[in-house]
Structure 1
Amino acid sequence: MLDEILTAIEKFNTIIIHRHVRPDPDALGSQAALQEVIRVSYPEKQVFSVGENEPSLSFLAEMDDVDDALYANALVIVCDTANTDRIDDERYQRGEMLIKIDHHPEVDQYGDLQWVEPSASSTSEMIYSLSLHGELLHMNTTAARLLYAGIVGDTGRFMYPNTTKRTMAYAGDLLAYDFDRQQLFDGLYQIKPEIAKLKGYILQNYILGESGLSTIRLTQDIMNEFGLDASQTSQTVSTLGELEGVVAWVMFVEEKNQIRARLRSKGPIINHIAEAFHGGGHPLASGATVYSWEEADKLCQALDVVCSAYAKKLK
C-alpha cells in the first residue's frame, strides 16, 4: 500500500490534501506535514492543504485557497478522517484519484487507495512512517514539528494507551530536528485566563451519575459570559477526566443550530455511540453532533448504558 501511495504522489503534478472538520493537532499536523514533505521532495509539484482555518491552531498551519479547476487532474489525499460526512470541503470528490490515510477504526470505505491503521497512535505517526518508506520523500524541520504536534496531541502527551514503542521511537526521531519544543507546547497547552475560569465553572457545575458518566453543558449564554467560542472550549475537554469516579464523560457545547458533543472514556467503548449521533472517532475519544437538548439527553442515556455495563464487568 505504501508503494502504491508513493507511486501516486510521484505521478500527479497537482496534489490537494484534506482532513476532517473541526481539526485537532493530528488532523492539521498530518495534513500540513504531508504537504510540506511532498513540497520538499518534489519542488515542481503544486501541493495544497484545504479546509476551514482553525484559529486556535493557526500557529501550526493555515489553509490554502484552491480554485475548483485545480481538482480536474489532481490527486486528492484525505488525512485522519474515518467517514466521508466529516471531510472538510466536499470538493474532495472532484479529483482524478482519491487516497484515504487514517488511523481511526474503519467507518466508511472510500478512495481508490485506503491505508487505514488503527494500531497507529495518530495519522501523524503514519505520515512519518510513509516518509521513511523508500527514498522518495524527505523530511525537514517544518514537517517534523507538525508531526510531533500531531503525535503529542493524539496521545495526550504520551499518556494514552495508544502510545506504543514505535510511537516513542518516532517521536525521538522527530526531536532530532531543530524546532522550538517549548513554543510548540505553549501553543498546544498554554491557556488564557478565560479558559482557566471556564475550567472552574466546569468543576463547579458538572454532573456525575452512578454509572461513572459525567456531563457538562456549555450553553451559548455561558460561553458568552466567559467571552469564548465553541472551538476554544476544546482546551477544557480533559478537565472531567481528572476527577475520581469518572469513567466516561461528555461535554456539550452549544453552537448556532447545533450542539457539539465531545466524548471521552477511561474504559467503555464510546465511538459507536458517537457514530449514532452524527459523529465518530476513536474507541475512547470521539465527537458527535446533536440538534437539541432532548437529543443530548438520548446520547447521555446511551453512554450511561455502556458505562453501567463496564462497571458490572469490573465487579
Structure 2
Amino acid sequence: MKTKILNEIKTFETIVIHRHVRPDPDAYGSQMGLAEIIRATFPEKKVYVVGTSEPTLEFLGEIDEVADNVYNGALVIVCDTANTERIDDSRYQNGEKLIKIDHHPNDDPYGDLLWVNTKASSCSEMITSFYENFKDELVLNETAARLLYAGIVGDTGRFLYPSTTEETLRLAAKLVTFPFDRSLLYQNLYQRPFKTVKLLGYIFEHLNLKDNGAATIYISKDILRQFDISPKQASDLVSSIENIEGLKAWIMFVEEENEIRARLRSKGPVINELAKEYRGGGHPLASGATVYTQEEVTEMGEKLYQICNETPR
C-alpha cells in the first residue's frame, strides 16, 4: 500500500492534504509533515494543506487558502481522520483520487486507497515510516522532521502513553537527528495561559470521581465565559488529571453552542465502544463523542461507571 501511495504522489501534479476538525498536534504534524516531504522531494508539484486554522497550533505552520478549482484533477490525501464526518473541509470529495492515511480503527473505510495502521502511536509515526520506507527516493528536511516529531510527541503524551512502542521511539530518534529546537517545541506545545491553569483548578475541585475509578467533569458555557476560555482550550485539559490516584477512566464534557463535546480517556478500561454509541469513536483508551442533552450526559456517565465496574483495577 505504501508503494501504491507513493506512485500516486508521483503521478499527480496537484496534491491537497486534509486532516480532522478540531486539530491536535498529530493532525497538524502528519498533514504538514507529509506536505513538506512531498514539496522537498518534488518541488515542481503544487502541494496544499487545508482546514480551519487552530490558533494554538499556528506555531507549527500555516494553512493554505485553496480555490475550489484547485481540486480539479487533484490527488486528495486525508491524514489522521477515522471517518468522513470528521474531515475538515468537505471539498475532500472533489479531487480525482482520495487516499486515507490513519491510525484509528477503520470503522469508516473511505477512499480509493487506504493505509490504516492501528498499531502506530500516531499518524505522524506512519508518515515517518513512509519516508523511511522510501528514503532513497524521498527527502526529509528539518521542517518535516520538526512537524512529525511534534505529532508523535502530542499523540503519545511525551512518550508516556501505552501506544508508545519500540518502533515509535526508534523513528522519533531518527527525527531528532535534525537540529530543530526541541526545547522551544515542547514549550510551544505545553505552555498554558494563566486563565487555563485556573480552569484546571476548577476541574480538580469539581471532578466527580466514583469509588470504582470512573470520573466525569462538566464544563458549561457559563464556566467557559467565567474563565474566558474557549471550548478547545478546555478540552485540551482532558489528560491533565490522569495522575489522580484511583482514577481509571473519565469523561470531560465541554458545552459548545449547539452540542456537548465528550472527551474520553482511560488507563485500562476500553472506552471507544462507548464513544461510538454517542456519535464518536477513536482509540481504545482515548476517544471523543458528541451529545446533545443532559440526559445523554448522565446516561454516558452511568455507562462509564458500569465499564469501570467490569474492569479490575
Shared fold (TM-score, shorter chain, > 0.5): yes
Secondary structure, aligned partner of 1:131 = helix
Give the Å deviation of 1:217: 0.6
User: Equivalents in 2 of 1:247, 1:57: separation in Å?
Assistant: 29
User: Equivalents in 2 of 1:223, 1:57: separation in Å?
Assistant: 20
Runs of at least 5 residues in structure 1 that lack an aligned partner in the other structure: none
**Which residue is equivalent to 2:195?**
194
**8 Å Cα contact 1:18-1:76 kept in structure 2:** yes
**Which residue is equivalent to 1:109?**
109
**Which residue is equivalent to 2:217?**
216
**Which residue is equivalent to 1:127?**
127
Aligned residues: 312
**Which residue is equivalent to 2:137?**
136
User: Equivalents in 1 of 2:126, 2:214: separation in Å?
Assistant: 33
Give the Å deviation of 1:296: 1.3
Query: Given the two structures, how large is their TM-score scaled by the length of structure 1?
Result: 0.97
**8 Å Cα contact 1:15-1:46 kept in structure 2:** yes
Q: Deviations over 1:175-217 (max 9, x none)?
A: 1111111111011111111111111111111101233111111
User: Equivalents in 1 of 2:16, 2:305: separation in Å?
Assistant: 41
Q: Deviations over 1:13-36 (max 9, x none)?
A: 000001111111101100010011
User: Equivalents in 2 of 1:54, 1:293: separation in Å?
Assistant: 28
User: Equivalents in 1 of 2:265, 2:62: separation in Å?
Assistant: 27
**Which residue is equivalent to 1:52?**
52
Aligned 1:229-248 pairs, distance under 5 A: 229-248=230-249
Paired AA for residue 15 in structure 1:
I
Give 4+ residue runs of structure 1 displaced > 2 Å after superposition: none
Paired AA for residue 254 in structure 1:
E
User: Equivalents in 2 of 1:289, 1:230: separation in Å?
Assistant: 13
Paired AA for residue 177 in structure 2:
A
Runs of at least 5 residues in structure 2 that lack an aligned partner in the other structure: none
Aligned 1:1-315 pairs, distance under 5 A: 1-134=1-134, 135-311=136-312, 314=313
Give the Å deviation of 1:279: 1.4
User: Equivalents in 1 of 2:24, 2:251: separation in Å?
Assistant: 17
Secondary structure, aligned partner of 1:228 = coil
Secondary structure, aligned partner of 1:242 = coil
**8 Å Cα contact 2:235-2:254 kept in structure 1:** no
Q: Deviations over 1:105-161 (max 9, x none)?
A: 111011111000011111000001111122222100111000000000111111111
Paired AA for residue 220 in structure 2:
T
Query: Given the two structures, how large is their TM-score scaled by the length of structure 2?
Result: 0.97
CA RMSD of aligned residues (A): 1.0
Paired AA for residue 289 in structure 2:
A
User: Equivalents in 2 of 1:292, 1:236: separation in Å?
Assistant: 22
User: Equivalents in 2 of 1:189, 1:115: separation in Å?
Assistant: 30
User: Equivalents in 2 of 1:274, 1:95: separation in Å?
Assistant: 31
